[in-house]
A and B are shown apart, each in its own frame.
Chain A
Amino acid sequence: GAVVSQHPSWVICKSGTSVKIECRSLDFQATTMFWYRQFPKQSLMLMATSNEGSKATYEQGVEKDKFLINHASLTLSTLTVTSAHPEDSSFYICSAREVGYTFGSGTRLTVV
């Protein structure tokens, strides 16, 4: 079936650096991608919705200049965490509407 592939599965970076997370749709075209964040023992919180070829829509409280989302093609959406800090350490997950809202495998980000 249709799959959303997410990379990397885990990343450790130094405070102040930027990290890019990729979400690719395999064998289908994803017009809409959702990006979520999940802190330990908490539920998923929607960060932003990205539509192919247009600017992402961010949820209240999410800094759009810090979490840069690019959805330039129908098969790739990226989330860049800029100037990462330890409080950005979390599990980041993407989801595509076209596949029944199934999720990518997630990226565990640890900022040290």
Chain B
Amino acid sequence: QKEVEQNSGPLSVPEGAIASLNCTYSDRGSQSFFWYRQYSGKSPELIMSIYSNGDKEDGRFTAQLNKASQYVSLLIRDSQPSDSATYLCAVNNFNKFYFGSGTKLNVKP
């Protein structure tokens, strides 16, 4: 069983819509959770981190964490074509990072 699971996509949404990206993890002891955006051929860029249950908002991005369900999500409001990228979910457990395989998001103009 993979440590972190993501749907590979692609997820296609029209410009201006809400994109919803999901991630599940297997280790209940995981302590912190991260979302990264990665453009093709580039290094991942940290979007958000979340450490406790509930929602965390930053601009157009909202991360949601549900530790009981071992579920993390990322909502992107007012999606823009520039948001088209692969989104990686990462889970940190005692300073070891485990990454999902990423969800490819396409935002259509």
Per the bound structure, the CA–CA distance linking A97 and B97 in Å amounts to 11
Give the interface SS of chain B, mostly helix, strand, loop or mixed: strand
Q: Which of the residues B43, B92, B99, B101 comes within 8 Å of A106, measured between beta carbons?
A: B43
Question: Which residues of chain A from 81 to 106 have a CB within 8 Å of any chain B CB?
Answer: 93, 95, 97, 100-106
Q: Which residues of A have CB within 8 Å of B99? A: 43-45
Quick one: closest B residue to A34, CB to CB?
A: B97
Contact between chains at B96 and A46 (CB < 8 Å):
yes
Quick one: closest A residue to B104, CB to CB?
A: A41
A44-B44, A44-B88, A101-B49 known; 7 new pairs, CB 8 Å cut-off, are A32-B95, A43-B88, A46-B96, A95-B97, A101-B92, A102-B46, A103-B46
Sample 17 A-B pairs with CB under 8 A, ordered by A number.
A43-B99, A43-B102, A44-B44, A44-B88, A44-B97, A44-B99, A45-B99, A46-B96, A49-B95, A49-B96, A93-B44, A100-B46, A101-B49, A102-B45, A103-B44, A103-B46, A106-B42
